[in-house]
Chains A and B, each alone.
Chain A
Amino acid sequence: MKLFQDVIQQMRALLPEQPALSAAYRSELCAESGDKNAILFRSDTAYELGGSGKPGVSSVLFGETGAAQDEVLVFGKDLCELTQDTAFAHLTIVQLKEHSEEDLRYEQLKEIGFRLFQLYPEGYHIRVSPSAGREQVRVAKDALAGPAPLSFVNVGCSLIRLLREHEDVARVQTVFITGEGADYAVLAALARKAKSITEAVQHTLELGELDCASCKMKPICDEVDGLRELHLKREKENRNHGT
């Protein structure tokens, strides 16, 4: 989908050429599911990704993953290599099936994007603030102990499985970034832009807001390729239906 493509490219440009770790999706790599109401207490927590006021960027984007398979990429240290609260970003690129892109619905983007809120890996307590585009994760001491400690690959595979269960999802790439290597301020700004694009889609497709003069989304529609076309397409559909 070209709506988010520019943002995705700018995000990719902020990352090193090669990830520290990449893994193709395999169902057997998925993390064990935990209880959705479980709280991971501070006393049981090894560290918090995005904790202690450090950046914690979260974004779900819709576009080309550029990969031939569903995959997890890790830039920076993996979970078992971290020892303290650290800056963190989690970006997920969802490629929709072709027919879904042609018949884009806001409801569809929402349903897919909200799946991140339904991810409850055991020992990995995720909390997401949609309004702030922020994600923080408490990682359990227990999850890092033993011969097979929890890895971003396990968490990423769980998310991929959850997303691929949606009928409109063709491919997923989920990217975890830790440490001081990335420019989190720019990533956060791009995540906000992605959120604005989704909101503009909502305004056009769900709320039927087609009067640009009174619409607060006009600046983003002017800036992002594809939003104007979506708007015009909707207008034409309305004309054809006589509304």
Chain B
Amino acid sequence: MHTVTFAFTGKGGVGKTSLSAAMIRLLLERYPDKKILAIDADPAVGLATALAMQPPMTLDDVRLKIAASIDKGETADAVALLSEARFHLLDCMDERGNLSFLAIGRPEAAGCYCKVNAYLKQVIETISGNFDFVVIDGEAGIEQINRRVLETITCLVLVSDGSQKGIQVVSTIQHVASRLVQCEKSGVIFNRIRPGFALPAAQELPPVLAVIGDDDAQAQNDMQGESVFSLPDDAPLLRGAAQALDALLQENRP
């Protein structure tokens, strides 16, 4: 099976999670017979709400469980630990029809996310072949790119708002990703754009996939804690995501 993997990344607060959710909704609607895996790789944890999914456990819960068994002096043999991790993986997965959902979780220890990111990388590599599409809502910034958590992906989707900071972050990620990530396509979605915004010079960024203005329906949805499935079909967020999807999937249909 040829798996198409989308990874969304960018500065915090630019709408990566909403766009990831919108992309997942579109994939479910367009390809009802395809298997889709949604991964909430952002410790801020928002994709579950956006998709109305509730995983019983997170990947970090599994990692902690395994670490605790080692601390208790139980077997630390690699084969047994792998089996243990495989056992709990399905417990982490919330499944609804053809959509499966995994969350990285929010490690309680302050500071370092290295271990859970390393575990996430292994999980992605192991199971992504079961799916036609994998959509990863990445952590803000370049950590997961730097750590090569997102090492091999089909489409890197950079998300920015109209701010210089947002554009700078996207430019940095693009630069780092060009060295560390194997991706077939990349592009930028400008989100929550106000009138008067001027697109940056073409040479600074990868192709622009969509420009999305303020979306009242999405703002209302967010306020009420509703999922992406409650949005009207003509919501700007969905129209923008559809435009991006069309551009990205031109040669990449599974």
Contact = CB atoms under 8 A, between A and B. Distances in A.
A43 B127 CA distance: 17
Interface string A112-133: 0010010000000001111100
Contacts, number: 55
B215 to A, nearest CB: 32
A117 B83 contact: yes
Contact of A39 (B83, B87, B90, B98): B90
Contacts of B90: 39, 127, 138
A77 interface: no
Q: Label chain B's interface by main secondary structure.
A: helix
Contact of A43 (B73, B80, B82, B95): B95
Question: Among B73, B87, B98, which residue has the most Cβ atoms of chain A within 10 A?
Answer: B87
A231 interface: no
Contact of B98 (A38, A43, A136): A43
Interface string A163-192: 000000000000000000000000000000
B172 interface: no
A114 B79 CA distance: 7
B195 interface: no
A216 interface: yes
Contacts of A134: 87
B26 to A, nearest CB: 20
Q: How large is the interface on A (under 10, 10 to 19, 20 to 34, 35 or more residues)?
A: 20 to 34
Contacts of A35: 129
A38 B129 CA distance: 8
A60 B170 CA distance: 53
A179 to B, nearest CB: 23
Nearest to A117: B83
B130 A110 contact: no
B95 A129 contact: no
Contact of B79 (A37, A117, A127, A199): A117
A130 B95 contact: no
Interface in A202-221: 216
Interface of A: 35, 37-39, 41-43, 110, 114, 117, 127-131, 134, 136, 138, 199, 216
22 contacts: A35-B129, A37-B129, A38-B130, A39-B130, A41-B95, A41-B98, A41-B130, A42-B95, A43-B95, A43-B98, A114-B80, A117-B79, A117-B83, A127-B86, A129-B83, A129-B84, A129-B88, A130-B80, A131-B69, A134-B87, A199-B75, A216-B73
Given A37-B130, A38-B130, 12 more contacts: A39-B93, A41-B35, A114-B83, A127-B83, A127-B86, A127-B87, A127-B89, A127-B90, A129-B83, A130-B75, A130-B83, A131-B75
Q: Which 3 A-B pairs have the closest CB atoms?
A: A129-B87, A130-B80, A127-B87
